[in-house]
Structure 1
């Protein structure tokens, strides 16, 4: 009989235990193994060469942190059954199972506005049928419907194990130390109050503030880095352009499953859609872009060369929207340089906004020694939380590098 209680060596967290056989069965399933071929951070390795880790790594790391968090809560007297432990670990293990190629960038391009969480839930339900209902508790928790609220919060909230893993992992693989957080310290401060809500022991206030600032720095320094934002934007434009050309009867070389989605119109997802979607990964998109560098369509060819050859367009970043006349000047120069009339296709303003801490949407609560809970931003001990409640927006103008010489 196969031993399914494995130990995995992870570069970020060390040794990760698989304490329940059903976890091993899910990890071994083709739906989950596909995550080995889907990058955690899209094209971020064009900017940070070390960022080649995958959704597979992240899901295992989040499962490990869930196990650690549940063990901590048990030690503090919180009653957690074995079924609940399995459910919570399964839910976080599968939370990204519905991600498509290059994750967030393309999730609405292939399946029309089918957010990855919707696809994750659909795949979980399929797996639940396959495993005779063993995932029912996990699905309830994933949907935020479980009667013990803290399980739902550990899976999805402003301080969940998903965020704890991706911040520490992405910081590690990008080499951006500003994003490094002490996950063990944060987890050791977790507790459950009388209402069954997840709270943080008040003495952990500065660890939580460090977590929030680290997340803010990672967004502006890594995820929303102007070149990272550009690369993600180009992926979307490439798929958009390819779908447009295919709709006009132009044949573009692509893997069979990708070609299926290029031809697919807007409609409710069918069984064939789901089956083909679970066969897609980053490799299909990369291969297509390699081929499309030589497409007859100048715009598609240009964008694909930008990504594959890492000869990316020029970017300018600003805290204010760019003046329309400035944008029109860039369009005019693009038209003249390339001898085209549709230069607007190559000049774009990209917008990125971030609210580091939302005081209204599931605020983080601190548990005081007297048993009362207070919101993090209302604590007398907080130093930075009050500064992170305002939304920040950045604007990025992108245009072909060939015309950048006109900038004074």
Structure 2
């Protein structure tokens, strides 16, 4: 693969500079599909909790490409056996791994019922997209090679592991980037040293055992970011409200597009009849424009929900320890008695709906290599699963706790009798939130 005539660089808060040498990378960056990611927030509704957390999927995608590039360079410097014929494939896959994100990133995946990975593959393989056309200029069928990496069924498992595993370029970038953007220190770790101790070994990416404490810091960062940022109650309040808005809008507007549907693609969105072209027309700005229209809609529920979202008048959260259907029905009755439709004003959120995760070791699906972080013991020439030799990580891996939260309007929570009834039904104790 030829190099660009002149090295291209992006100034970046995580990596200092992001370097582009290959024409295909530069051409992909400048496609319509990649530039769309500038208009999609990386962290969805997290900016409602952390004002600085409004960075884009575009910056993260560049960052993942850069981490892949740095790792391959480190392998080369250290003399590790790495299939250099796949260098460009790995870097391209890292760059394009999130090109199929919907508006507000993961927040809409539950509503759509389709993961962004599937849209990514559809976009890459659609002959009408600029991304596809750039890839096919590399060589015929190259777009399918990239899709195979992102589907995790490419025969070169080292490339797959570099882009998608428990210690991959995706996580290495987003933890640092999200931590810096939100202003928290939980997600920071020694990225340079992580890259130094990584190596390919028998078809997977592993780390030298001598770097165990550096890897511990990385896995602890994932754990703290999960509970303090990704599952933050205010961020999740924004997400459950966003889903309620879309469900109400679908019921009110889905079959009768009117001036309150500001973009044709949004009408297809509510009909669940989107093709790639319509999907790519959607971004955060389209939804926010719609929300600004809907806050004046005649439907009182749609009007109220969008006002709450735009004005950050979010629902109150409280822990929900019961799963009893009769108890949940009783809570909904309280909400209805207060004058609110419980379908839109009594919402439940749980950890299972959060895309991000923390390390659970090799226990959940032990047959899948990407479920474990492997340490390489050079003296014994063997691999050791991380949590088996690290007490802090073992404790995290064994925790696997699930959390459920109930969200109701703050007006209900501010009413002492209603608050007392919901608190008793949810089995929440004062001081437990």
TM-score (norm 1): 0.90
Which has the higher mean CA deviation after the structures are superposed, 15-24 or 286-295? 286-295
Deviations 1:152-191 (A, max 9, x none): 1110011101001000000001111011121111111101
Aligned residue among 152, 160, 163 for 2:160: 152
Counterpart position of 1:96: 98
Aligned residue among 61, 65, 68 for 2:67: 65
Unaligned runs of 5+ in 1: none
The reply to whether residue 237 of structure 1 matches residue 238 of structure 2 is no
SS of match in other structure, 1:393: coil
- Would you say the 8 A contact 1:246–1:252 is kept in 2? no
- Would you say the 8 A contact 2:317–2:408 is kept in 1? yes
- Would you say the 8 A contact 1:5–1:24 is kept in 2? no
Distance 1:95 1:364 in 2: 21
Which has the higher mean CA deviation after the structures are superposed, 49-58 or 201-210? 201-210
Counterpart position of 1:376: 386
Change (3 A) 1:327 1:113: closer
* Residues 25-174 of structure 1: pairs in structure 2 closer than 5 A: 25-80=27-82, 83-109=85-111, 112-126=112-126, 127-132=131-136, 134=138, 135-136=142-143, 137-174=145-182
Deviations 1:174-224 (A, max 9, x none): 11101112111111110122x232110001111111111111111111110
CA apart distance, 1:105? 1.1
Distance 1:192 1:80 in 2: 7
What RMSD over aligned residues (CA atoms) do the two structures have, in Å? Answer: 2.2
Distance 2:409 2:21 in 1: 52
Distance 1:124 1:237 in 2: 31
* Residues 343-382 of structure 1: pairs in structure 2 closer than 5 A: 343-353=342-352, 356-359=359-362, 360=366, 361=368, 362=370, 363-370=372-379, 371-379=381-389, 382=390
CA apart distance, 1:282? 0.2
Which has the higher mean CA deviation after the structures are superposed, 231-240 or 249-258? 249-258
Distance 2:78 2:186 in 1: 31
Unaligned runs of 5+ in 2: 421-433
Distance 1:233 1:83 in 2: 45
Distance 2:311 2:290 in 1: 14
Which has the higher mean CA deviation after the structures are superposed, 161-170 or 174-183? 174-183
Aligned residue among 202, 205, 226 for 2:209: 202
Distance 1:142 1:250 in 2: 36
Distance 1:245 1:258 in 2: 17
CA apart distance, 1:291? 1.2
Deviations 1:214-265 (A, max 9, x none): 1111111111011111211111121111111124647461222343224424
CA apart distance, 1:401? 0.7
- Would you say the 8 A contact 1:201–1:367 is kept in 2? yes
Distance 1:236 1:225 in 2: 17
CA apart distance, 1:326? 6.3
